[in-house]
Structure 1
Amino acid sequence: MSNKRKIAVVITARPSYSRVKTVLAAIKKHPELDLQLIVAASALLDRYGSAVNYIEKDGFEIAAKVFNVLEGENLTAAAKTTGIGILELSTVFDNLRPDIVVTVADRFETMATAISASYMNIPLAHIQGGEVTGNIDEKVRHAITKLADYHFVASENAKQRVIKLGENPEMVFNTGCPSIDIAQSVSQKKALDFNPYQKYGGVGSQPDLSNGYLVVMQHPVTNEYQDSRSHIEATLRAVMQINQPTLWFWPNVDAGADGTSTGIRSFREKYTMENVHFFKNMEGDDFLNLLHHSKGLIGNSSVGIRECAYLGVPVVNIGSRQNRRDRGVNVIDVSYEEQEIITAVTSVLQNQIRNTSEVYGGGNAGERIAELLKELPLQFHKTIMY
C-alpha cells in the first residue's frame, strides 16, 4: 500500500487549468505525492474550448470527470450548477479518499469543491485567496478562505488580507501565482513560434500578424450581467475603429456569457471585421507566447493583471471586473466607453514600453506549493485568530 499523500486538485474551467498547470506537474513529479486530478464544469464543455483536451494532451491522468453545468448562463443556473457540483464532488471524494483537496481561485462553481471537502472533513488548500475585485467572485473567494485550512496566495497584499480575515498566519503562504511559472518560461522565447490560424482554427479573417497585433479577451461581469451585451458592443466598436490586426478570444461561462456571445455574433453579422480573428481557446503556453509578442491586451481578463504584469505586456483593462486587484504599471484602466477605449489603445500602440513587475511572484510557485502539500500537517479544524 502506497504511503504517498493523495492530493485531489479540482479544475472547473479553462483559466483554472492554466493557473495551476505547474502545480499539477510538480505534484505529479514529487516522489511523496499522488495526484488525483478531477475535471469538472465548463472545463469539460467544447463550447468553452474543452480544456480537458489540453489537460490530457499534456500527459495528466484524470481520476474523475464531473458534468455539472446547467444550461442558461444566468444567476439561477450558476447557483444550481454549484449545487450539482456539491452532490457530484462529494461522491468523487468519497471514492478517491484524498488526504488534501486543492481548489483554485474564485470562479463561482469552485464553491462546490470547498463545501464538499469541508463537510467531509478533508483538509482544504486554496490557491489565490485574499484578492479583491468587487463582483460575485469576491464573495466566493473570501468564503472559500474561511472554509480552507491552507492558503497559497499570490501576493503580499493578499497574504495580509487573508490574515485579517482571521486565518492563522502559520497557514498562509505567499507562494506567488503558479501562472507566473509559465510566464517565466515563455519570457525566454524570442518570437511567436507557431501559426495560431493553422494550430487553432477559429473563425473570421486571418490578418497578417508580422507587423504586430492586439489580443482581446473580455468576459461578462457577474454583478453587471444584464449589461454584458452593451459592454461587449462598446469594445467591438472600438476595435473596429482602431482597425489593427486583432485576435479575439471567447468569454468564460459566467452569468451574462450569452449576452457577450450574442453581442459578438450579431456584430459580426452586421459588420465585416476584416482585421479580426476569433478563437475559442488556446493552450496556456501558446496563449502567453501570443500575448508576450502582441502590442497589447484589451478586455477584463485577470491574465492582464497577472501574467502580463510579469511579461510587461501593455493592458487596457475595461470596467470593474478587476477592481482593486494588485497591478503592475502595465495596466491602463478605462470604462465601457468606446472613445475612452480607443484613446487608451492608441496610447498603447504609440508607446510600446515594456515595464515588468513581480507583484505576483517570480516563477517558482508550482514547486513551492507541491512541497508545502507534502510538509503541512493534515488538519481540518481551525483556530481562528480574531
Structure 2
Amino acid sequence: MKILVVFGTRPEAIKLFPVVRALIATTGLTVRTCVTAQHRGLLDQVLRIAGLAPDIDLDLMEPGQTLDRLTARLLTGLGEVMDAECPDRVIVQGDTATAMTGALAAYYRKVPVAHVEAGLRSGDIYHPWPEEVNRRIVAPIADLHFAPTDTAAAALARENVIEGVHITGNTVIDALHWTGDRISNDPSLAAGLDDIAARFAGKRIVLVTTHRRENFGGGMENIARAIRRIADRDDTALLFPMHPNPNVGSVMDAILGDRPNVARIEPLDYPHFIRALGLCHLALTDSGGVQEEAPALGKPVLVMRDTTERPEGVEAGTAKLIGAHEDRIVSEVSTLLDDNDAYASMARAHNPFGDGHASERIAHVIANGVGRR
C-alpha cells in the first residue's frame, strides 16, 4: 500500500515526523512524503533533526501571499503530485491550508484520507482563523480520524462523524519524547541556548510565542505592551523566539525595542525549543502546540486567545485562556510568578494529551487497511 504524507508547516512536521518514522518501520507500506513548504525555514529545521528528506518539495510559499492565492496554488500543486504518485491513501495533519487542500485534492481523485489530530474544535469559525474551518472541511472527507483525546472524538460525533474514529493521543508528545531523548544523549543539539541560560541565571524565564492571524494588529500591540511591563520585573526574563511574519516583528520593534530582560531571538529549531520549554517557568503563547507540549514538562500555559480548540488543557488545569488583553496578560503572569500555590496547581495538573505512543497506533490502523473504502 502506497501512502502519501502531505505537510508544509513546522507544527505539521513536528507532529508527523513520528508518524512517518512509524509508517516506514511498518511492513507492507511504501511511504512517500510531499512538503508544500508553507513554512520554509521552520519546516526544514524539523526535517533535519528528524533525519527526513521529503520525496517531493513543492516550495509554494511566497512573501505576503493571500489565503486565496495560497489555497489555489496548494490545491493545484498537490493535485498534480497525486496524479503522478497515484497513492492508495493520503495522510494530512491538523488545521493548515496544506491539510485542507491535501484532503480536497485527494477527494477529487477518490483517494481515501487519514486525518491526524482530528476533532479539535473551538466552536468559533474566526478563532482560530482560518484553522477552525480548515479542520471542519477535512472531517467529512476523511475516512480515518485519529482523534488525540476523548473530547476530540466527541466533537466529531456531534458532527455525525462516528465511523473510522480512533483515539490515539497526540503525536506531538511522541515528538517531544523522541527529541528529549536525543538531547539527553547529545546535549550539543540544544547548546545554542547556553548563553541565554547563563545570562538569565537566577531569573524566572517566561517563554513567549505569538503568531496567530487573529492577533495581528491591536492584539499584537497589546501583547507587546504587556511584555514590556512584565520585563520591568528584576526577577523575571522573557525568552521570545520571534515568528518570521512581519506582522509580529514590526510591532515588537516599535513597542518593545531593546530591553535587557527580553531575549528576542531567531526561531528555534525543535531541540532548542524543547530545551527552552525546560528552562522556562511558564509559557505565554497563542500557539496550539505549546498548549500540548508544555504540560508534558510540567509548565503552566497562559493562552493569549479567547477560545481554544484544545479545551482538555483548560479543563485539566494545565492551561488558562486569558485573551490578548494587556492588563489581563500582566495580571495572570504576575499571579503565577508571585503565588506559589497558583503556580503549583497548574504545574502539577494532569497532562491529557497522550503517552508518547500515538504514532504506533496510527501506523497499526493504517497498515491493517481499516477505513470506509
The interval holding the TM-score normalised by the smaller chain is: 0.7 to 0.9
The alpha-carbon deviation at position 190 of structure 1 amounts to: 8.4
Aligned CA distance change for structure 1 residues 251 and 325 (closer, same or farther; 3 Å): farther
Structure-2 residue corresponding to 1:83: 72
Structure-2 residue corresponding to 1:297: 283
Q: Is 1:18–2:14 an aligned residue pair?
A: yes
Q: Is 1:41–2:37 an aligned residue pair?
A: yes
The alpha-carbon deviation at position 30 of structure 1 amounts to: 1.6
Q: Is 1:173–2:162 an aligned residue pair?
A: no
Gaps of 5+ in 2: none
Q: 1:260 aligns with which of 244, 248, 254?
A: 248
Q: Is 1:240–2:234 an aligned residue pair?
A: no
**Which residue identity is paired with 1:372?**
V
Q: 1:99 aligns with which of 74, 78, 88?
A: 88
User: CA contact under 8 A between 2:143 and 2:163: conserved in structure 1?
Assistant: no
State the distance in 2 between where 1:87 and 1:326 align.
36
Q: Residue 212 of structure 2 aligns to a residue in which SS? A: coil
Structure with more helix by fraction: 2
State the distance in 2 between where 1:132 and 1:291 align.
25
The alpha-carbon deviation at position 212 of structure 1 amounts to: 4.1
Q: Is 1:138–2:132 an aligned residue pair?
A: yes
User: CA contact under 8 A between 1:220 and 1:260: conserved in structure 2?
Assistant: no
The alpha-carbon deviation at position 20 of structure 1 amounts to: 1.9
State the distance in 2 between where 1:197 and 1:267 align.
30
**Which residue identity is paired with 1:120?**
R
User: CA contact under 8 A between 2:226 and 2:327: conserved in structure 1?
Assistant: no
CA-to-aligned-CA distance 1:270-299 (integer Å, 9 cap, x gap): x32112223333333432232133101012
Q: 1:69 aligns with which of 61, 73, 77?
A: 61
Q: Percent of pairs identical after alignment?
A: 19
State the distance in 1 between where 2:197 and 2:368 align.
52
Aligned CA distance change for structure 1 residues 60 and 267 (closer, same or farther; 3 Å): same
Aligned CA distance change for structure 1 residues 332 and 163 (closer, same or farther; 3 Å): closer
TM-score where L is the length of structure 2: 0.86
**Which residue identity is paired with 2:272?**
D
Structure-1 residue corresponding to 2:218: 227
The alpha-carbon deviation at position 146 of structure 1 amounts to: 1.2
The alpha-carbon deviation at position 98 of structure 1 amounts to: 1.5
**Greater mean deviation of Cα atoms: 51-60 or 184-193:** 184-193
**Which residue identity is paired with 2:228?**
R
TM-score where L is the length of structure 1: 0.83
Q: Is 1:128–2:122 an aligned residue pair?
A: no
Give me the CA root mean square deviation. Answer: 2.9
Structure-2 residue corresponding to 1:364: 357
State the distance in 1 between where 2:197 and 2:22 align.
40
Aligned CA distance change for structure 1 residues 170 and 132 (closer, same or farther; 3 Å): closer
**Greater mean deviation of Cα atoms: 243-252 or 94-103:** 243-252
Aligned CA distance change for structure 1 residues 34 and 278 (closer, same or farther; 3 Å): farther
The alpha-carbon deviation at position 379 of structure 1 amounts to: 4.5
Aligned CA distance change for structure 1 residues 280 and 10 (closer, same or farther; 3 Å): farther
Q: Is 1:58–2:33 an aligned residue pair?
A: no
Q: Residue 260 of structure 2 aligns to a residue in which SS? A: coil
Aligned CA distance change for structure 1 residues 342 and 207 (closer, same or farther; 3 Å): farther
The alpha-carbon deviation at position 377 of structure 1 amounts to: 3.8
Q: Residue 335 of structure 1 aligns to a residue in which SS? A: coil
**Greater mean deviation of Cα atoms: 259-268 or 85-94:** 259-268
The alpha-carbon deviation at position 87 of structure 1 amounts to: 0.5
State the distance in 1 between where 2:4 and 2:120 align.
23
Aligned CA distance change for structure 1 residues 193 and 343 (closer, same or farther; 3 Å): farther
